[in-house]
Structure 1
C-alpha cells in the first residue's frame, strides 16, 4: 500500500488523542484504586545499605559523565541561593538551606533512579534517559510528592528563621565572622544550633519516611501514589534503625559534599541516587 502524507488536521487529532491518553494514565497513577495487593516490604539489614552503596557506586562508574552532567545544576542552584541569602541579609538561613538538600534529595535524584532502572534492565543509560520521567504515567504522582517535599522544605526554612529570631535575632548578623562567633561562644548560639539541629532532624525524618522508596516505586510499578507512600512507611516501620542509618548517611554525605562550595554534590547526589534505587529493590519484594 502506498504511503500518503497526512494532513495537518489528522496530525492534530492524533496528537490530541495521544495527549489525552497520557493525561488519563497520569491521572490514574494518582490513585491506587486498581491495586489488588500491597507490595511486600522486606526487613532491611546493614548489609543492604553496604550492598546498595556499592551498587550505586558501580552505576556511577558506569555512567559517570552522564550522571555528573545531569546533576551539575544542583550546586549551581545552591551557590545562587547562598549568594542571594548574603545579598538579602539572610545569612542565618544558609546552613538550613544546605541541610534542606536532604529533604529535596529524592526529587533531585528521580532521573538517576530512571538511569539505574534502565541499566538494571540491560540497557545502556544516557543522561537524556532521565527525562523519560516526564513521559512516564507516574509523572503526576511524582510531581505531587515533590510538591510535598518542597512545602516541607519551605516550612523548615520558616522554622529555622523563627529559631534564629528567638535566640540570636531578630536583627541580621553584621558579618559571617560575627555570626559564627556568636554561635560558638554564646549561650543563645548553642541553643540555636542544638534546637535547630533537633527540629531539622524532625523535618528530615518526615521526608525520609514518606520518600524512602516511594519515588523509585512510582517509576518501577503502576501502584499509584497512596500505595507508594504507604509502602515507604511500612519499610520504615519494619527496619527503623537501618532506615535512620541510611538517612544519616545521606544527610552527612550531602553536608560534606556541600562544604567545598557545593561542588561535592556533583559526586554525592549521583552515588546516593543510584544507591537509593538499589535499596528500594532490596526493600520491596
Structure 2
C-alpha cells in the first residue's frame, strides 16, 4: 500500500488537477514574485543555498583530480537537473509567506513532515537517474570523438573545443543532447514538487500534471526553461557564488509558477493577473 500511496497519493486515486493557460507575462510575474520572496529575508536564503555552489566546486575538483576534465561542463550542467528537488525547502518558504506564516529559514526543513515525502523522494530518484544517464552520455560522446585519453589540461581542452572541428562537434552535439535532457526534466517536474508540497497527489499525478502544464503552455514554459538556464549560467560564472542568489530566486519563482498554472481545489487563490 505504501508504494501505491507514492504513485496515487492520499486519495488512492490518480488526481488530475485543473490547469489554466498562462502567457509570457505570467512567467515574468512568477520570476518577480520569486525575487520578492528572496528579498523578504535574503540572508536566510543565501545561507540555505550555499550548499549548491559548494557542491559545484567539489564537482570541479573531483573532475580535475580524477583525469576527467572533459566532464566538468556536463557535471555543472547536469547538476542543474537536480535543482527541482534541491529547492523543495524554498517552495515551503514561499508557501508559508503566501499564507502569512513565519518564514524563518528553519521552516525550510518542515517539508520532512509532509505526507508526500515518499513521492518527492521517488521523483528525486528519477532525477538522479536522469543526471547519471546524462553523465554517461556525455562521457560516451567524448570517447566517440576523442577516444579514451583524458585532456592534459583544462585550458588546452577549452582551446581544443573552441578552435577545432572535432571540438565544435562536441560542443554542438553535446548541447543538443543536453537540451533534450533539460526538456525532459522541465516537462516532467516543472511544478511537480510544489504540487506535492501543496497536495499529496502522488508522484505519477505530479509528473503527469507537469506534462500537461507543458502541453497547455509550450511557449511560456520554454521561456521559463530558458530563464532558468540563463540564470544558472550567469550564477555559475563567478565560481558558482552567484548561485547562492540565483537558486533561491528560481526556487521561489517555481512556487509562484505552480500557483499560476494549477487551479486550487477551492478556487480561492489569486488569478495570474492578480498575482
Length-normalised TM-score, structure 2: 0.91
Moved more, 32-41 or 259-268: 32-41
The alignment yields a C-alpha RMSD, in angstroms, of 1.6
- SS of the counterpart of 1:167? helix
- Whole-angstrom CA distance in 2 between matches of 1:284 and 1:157: 33
The structure number with the bigger radius of gyration is: 1
* Residue 28, structure 1, aligned to residue 10, structure 2: no
Paired residues for 1:137-152 under 5 Å: 137-152=115-130
How far off its partner does 1:73 sit? 1.0
- SS of the counterpart of 1:278? helix
How far off its partner does 1:281 sit? 0.1
Residue 117 of structure 1: aligned partner? 95
Aligned residues between the structures? 262
Residue 78 of structure 2: aligned partner? 100
- Aligned partner (choices 49, 58, 61) of residue 36 of structure 2: 58
CA contact (8 A) 2:87 2:248 kept: yes
Residue 74 of structure 1: aligned partner? 52
* Residue 250, structure 1, aligned to residue 228, structure 2: yes
Q: 4+ residue runs of structure 1 moved beyond 3 angstroms?
A: 24-27, 32-37
Moved more, 267-276 or 178-187: 178-187
CA contact (8 A) 1:26 1:139 kept: no
How far off its partner does 1:36 sit? 7.3
CA contact (8 A) 2:4 2:12 kept: no
Which deviations, in whole Å up to 9, do the C-alpha atoms of 1:61-90 show, x marking residues without a partner? Answer: 002111111111111111011101100011
- Aligned partner (choices 214, 226, 229) of residue 207 of structure 2: 229
CA contact (8 A) 2:8 2:14 kept: no
Residue 68 of structure 2: aligned partner? 90
Which deviations, in whole Å up to 9, do the C-alpha atoms of 1:73-119 show, x marking residues without a partner? Answer: 11111101110110001101111111113311101110000000001
Residue 249 of structure 2: aligned partner? 271
Residue 163 of structure 2: aligned partner? 185
CA contact (8 A) 2:15 2:201 kept: no
* Residue 176, structure 1, aligned to residue 154, structure 2: yes
- SS of the counterpart of 2:103? coil
Gaps of 5+ in 2: 264-275
How far off its partner does 1:37 sit? 5.3
CA contact (8 A) 1:29 1:137 kept: no
